[in-house]
Structure 1
Amino acid sequence: MLSRTAAALYWMSRYLERAENLARMLDVSYSLSLMPQDGSGDGLDELAMPLQITGTLEDYRNRHGALDAERLLHFFALDGDNPGSIFSCLRAARSNAHVVRGRISADMWENINATWLEMREIASQGLGGYGISAFCEWVKQRSHLYRGAAFGTSLRNDAFRFIRLGTYIERADNSLRLLDSRYEMLGEQAEEGSARDYYQWSALLRALSVFEAFSEIYRGAPDKRQVAELLILREDVPRSLRACLGEAALILASLPGENGRPAQRMAAELEARLRYTGIEEILATGLHAWLSECILHINHLAGAIHSAYLEAA
């Protein structure tokens, strides 16, 4: 497969997954911003959290100055000049899909194109009449439809492998960033069992669609240890780090050629590290420090994938 075709498929999938994860970030932050807050109680720190996670808060301040709820929501969701917005991600996904229209199924193309057309309509009307929660749910539903079309209609070839690879790399990175942001918001000295602790962790679990899985596996209210174990080490949780890296390692191992050996080795090493690591070891290191290091490892893996398969020779 030509590297430019592989790159378009890979980034098409990454941008769609990123749009979904951005919607999940926005949904949980918006929901928590409506609750009584410590200090000023205006909830702007919560609304600014997605911008901090994506590294676009400084860009927002340069363009809009002081934090404002309405401008924050528009900047993160609908601003076409913000490369980190949901709007920009869906636009980039559609652009990449157009490049490889002949390598994806008609159902996949129609889903992506329809999503982009609806996104433009929503952007023209603004979020006021649509509602933040309804908008975030719409983004997630469109992402689910895309994945259903990809699984149900794609030939199991290298094109499909790069589509799936993009999904898992993006999901692993975003799940860790969401976990780290909630942990940082609570603080190292958070009071276990407090109402704030409960609602923060519950909101994160719901944002990642794993609240029901948590309730089935664990008993009682969510806490740092259980949530971290679920989202990092549980192989049976689709959005966990171990599940994502396990799938990525299998996909990389199935790709032909010798150029991919560094990426294959890196993915296998990361997956093996998770397989033989316990949650107590992670917590002893410090959850924030461990997550920060792991996010760097995932970025290095993404760079190795890019060098091996996506750069033109």
Structure 2
Amino acid sequence: MLGRTAASLFWMSRYVERAENMARLLEVGYRISLMPRAIEGHRDEWRSTLTTAACEASYFAKHKEITTGDIIHHLLFDEDNPSSVRTCLETARNNGRAVRTALTRDVWESLNGTWNEFDQVKPESITTDRLPGFLDWIEQRAMLFRGALLGTMLRHDTYFFSQLGTFVERADNTARILDVKYYILLPKPSDVGSDVDIQQWATVLRSVSAHRAYRWFYHDSTYRPWLVAEFLILREEMPRSLTFCYQWITRALDGLAELYQQRYDCQDEAIDIYGRLKLGKMEDIFQNGLHEFLQDFMKANNQLATDIAQTYNFP
């Protein structure tokens, strides 16, 4: 496969995943901003959302202060923000169009239809009371794309490069949302274990559709920080956990190695990250620092994405 084709497939899936993740981050910020503590601290909650999304610099390049309306517009509709939902969906659609003949009709129509519908939405129509429903729609459209890809694509290089884009992006997002929760939202030790702390952990779980799954898995209605972190980092049963993502990254790279009859260093790199996650223990992670662990993971994940691009000659 040509490098530019592989790159388009990788970034097509990565940008769809990023659009969904952006909707999820907005949902977290919105829910937390409605909590009682947010009356005096809503700007910190929204700032943490910008930080998690890596959009703080782009936001303050255009705005002097944080307001709910400006945050929503910047993360959903701002064409100058390379990670806004609008930019992500448009870029994903353009990448899909570039490799249209490699996609099934269902995959292409899910991409094209989502972009066409989103493009008709007027930003001023998404008021705070309509925001949750609109975010749900974005998440559902991303799941439609993923379902079409999983249900109709042949298991060859087209599929493998698409899967790599999805799970590299998902792993980055899960690590970011955990890091911002633990390191930015709760700078005071006195907050840990408080009612506000527990509510925020519950909100984080809801943002990754893991609220009920957590309670079922641990048979516990109490949101314990170390268990939430374990669930989103180490539990392979959780489809947005870091370990689950790397299970699929290694599978995709194994598939490419088998298809092309050649093994590359990036495959061993992914296996090494996956192995460390599989053998990881939360007591060790917390003892050494959750923030430090997540920062190291994001650095390794970004390096893997760079190495994949170099290995397969992405332009």
- Quote the residue 2:307 is aligned against: 304
Amino acid aligned to 2:210:
V
Gaps in structure 2 of 5+ consecutive residues: none
1:265 equivalent to 2:268? Answer yes
Residue number in structure 2 paired with 1:89: 88
Evaluate the alpha carbon distance shift between residue 24 and residue 249 of structure 1 in structure 2; reply closer, same or farther with a 3 A threshold.
Answer: same
Aligned to 2:64: 65
Alpha carbons 1:197, 1:223 under 8 Å: kept? no
The amino acid that maps onto 1:263 is C
**1:246 matched residue in structure 2:** 247
Q: Residue in 2 aligned with 1:208? A: 208
Pair 1:227–1:188, CA change in 2 (3 A): farther
Q: Is the 8 A contact 1:26 1:50 kept in 2?
A: yes
Letter in 2 for 1:82: N
Structure 1 CA distance, aligned partners of 2:33 and 2:27? Answer: 10
d(CA) in 1 for partners of 2:203 and 2:129? 22
The answer for the alignment partner of 1:100 in structure 2 is 99
Q: Is the 8 A contact 1:259 1:308 kept in 2?
A: no
Conserved 8 A contact 2:238-2:244: yes
Contact 1:44/1:67, CA 8 A, preserved across alignment: yes
Correspondences of 1:1-313 after superposition (within 5 Å): 1-37=1-37, 41=40, 43-123=42-122, 126-128=125-127, 131-184=130-183, 185-187=185-187, 189-218=189-218, 219-256=220-257, 257=260, 261-312=264-315
Stretch of structure 1 that moved more, 232-241 or 214-223: 214-223
Distance 2:188 2:252 in 1: 37
Instruction: Give the TM-score of the pair, scaled to structure 2.
Output: 0.94
Residue 150 of structure 1, CA deviation: 0.8
Identity, in percent, stands at: 38
Larger mean CA deviation between 229-238 and 52-61 belongs to: 52-61
Deviations 1:72-128 (A, max 9, x none): 110111111211211110110011010011101111111111100111111455412
Distance in 1 of aligned mates of 2:175 and 2:203: 15
Distance 1:84 1:165 in 2: 19
Aligned letter for 2:266?
Answer: A
Secondary structure (helix, strand or coil) at the match of 2:189 reads coil
Please give the secondary structure, in 1, of the residue aligned with 2:223.
Answer: coil
RMSD, aligned α-carbons: 1.7
Aligned-partner Cα distance in 2 for 1:237–1:248: 15
TM-score when normalising by structure 1: 0.95
In structure 2, C-alpha distance between the alignment counterparts of 1:269 and 1:131, rounded to whole Å: 44
Work out the CA distance in 1 between the residues paired with 2:211 and 2:23: 17
Deviation at 1:155, TM superposition (A): 1.2
Aligned length: 311
Structure 1: 5+ residue stretches without partners: none
How big is each residue's C-alpha offset from its partner over 1:226-246, in whole Å with a ceiling of 9 and x where there is no partner?
011001100111100001011
